[in-house]
Amino acid sequence: MEEGHKKILQRYRINIVTSLDPSSVYDRLLQKGVFTPEMIEKIKSSGTPRDQARQLARDLATRGSRAFPLFLECLQDSEQHSLAELLRSGGSMSNHLILPVVRTLPVSSAVDFQKQIKAAPIHPLHSPTPSPGAENQQAQTQIRTRMEGRRRRDSLQIYKMDATPCGHCLIINNVDFEPQSELSNRTGSNIDCDRLERRFKALHFLVEVRTNLKQRRLKHELSDLAKKDHSPYDCCVVIILSHGTEVNHNRFPGAVYGVDGQYVPVQHITNYFNGKHCPTLQGKPKLFFIQACGGGEKDQGFEVPSDEFEPSEGGIDDQTDAIPASSSSDSLSTSDEPDAGATLPTPSDILVSYSTFPGYVSWRDTQSGSWYIETLDRILEENTATVDLVSMLMMVNNEVSQNSAKGIYKQMPSSFNSLRKHLYFQTSTPGQNSVQRN
């Protein structure tokens, strides 16, 4: 299958899992030679209809160059037109909008809604085919308009994020754990790592990847990064993909493991980069993304009206990154005494985004990577140009919360945020526009 078609299947995997009726396309896929009878039987035996849809999408990506268009034909023939159209347009519409189900409003609500529509300002539409001479001018106007729209009327401002490059991004990917650690290998983590490496390179970061680090080496890499001169840059990103556990803390919860089975508390990790210990990052955003369990508890969720959510069930390949909770706080090697000369709180301008809520497990699909990273990558791809980071993380929370592992267990990402301003990643080519962000 062509790489572009594989990307479309990956991007809209959740839509396929939640919308596809696999039983209606089996015979058609067989007749068109997309799958063999043995492959169809394998898909049918994978579990629930959603499990079958997930397996079908995976197997489809392994077929020939005609598999994708033939699959679209099968969707049309089985009257699954909405899904067919979504996948067909996926190759040319990077920000394709998925329209919600339309429900009839009560009379009173409909009247109120009409009033809101009449009261809303009407913005003129830009021409889809501007003349070549006006193209650059229109692009600049759109950028300025978007930036002005970002500026809230209150005291909140926007972090400067236009340095070239924007900053350092360190990814620590612990996959293969030593036997004495008694921790399982994290199959599927390389998929997460590759996704994030591509994503943050596209966001103009200097990305470095470190794999299978023991606790001591993990600390060393963090210390080395914190000691760099970050003066030319606007931001710093640390991403850790590993097993995790719950530990006592007084700021940021949780801990991540080295491949030797020894852990480092998250609050220790952030301490390397705070305003006291990393002066060249003072006043600049320091972002931490943690794909690891926050504890060993499995969340079975609670019942909600069935028409409010479109849950997505996980598959048989779902695993956790959980380790039993520890009572040790792993005392910090750096002092927690306040810095008397600081003009900002020491832990300011820090955001720690966790794949799961403290105390709970985090789920990872061995075939497609973790729920959190897969969703985070897609949300960044689709929304970075117009949406701030904190709002995008709320989108991630919403989507991941609708997944279910083994049809039972849930996951809720969370963030600990001391950012003082809105943060918008740099998406245009450095130097392409002159809009200043304060």
Residues assigned a catalytic role:
243, 293
Residues pairing with 363 in the sheet: 320
| 376 and 396 Cβ atoms separated by less than 8 Å | yes
| Closest listed residue to residue 329, CA positions, set 273, 217, 253 | 253
Cα(266)–Cα(256) distance, integer angstroms: 7
Q: CA Rg, the chain, in Å?
A: 24
DSSP states of 150-186 as a string? HS-SSS--B-----SS-EEEEEEE-----GGGT----
Which residues are within 8 A (CB) of 42 and not within 5 positions of it... i.e. 6 or more apart?
55, 59
CB 50 within 8 A of CB 18: yes
In contact, 355 and 291? CB cutoff 8 Å: yes
41 Cβ neighbours under 8 A, 6+ residues apart:
none
Of 35, 162, 20, 154, the closest CA to residue 79 belongs to: 20
Pairing status of strand 369-370 against strand 403-404: unpaired
Between strands 255-257 and 318-320, the pairing is unpaired
Q: What are the residues facing 235 on neighbouring strands?
A: 167
Element (H, E) at 264: strand 263-265
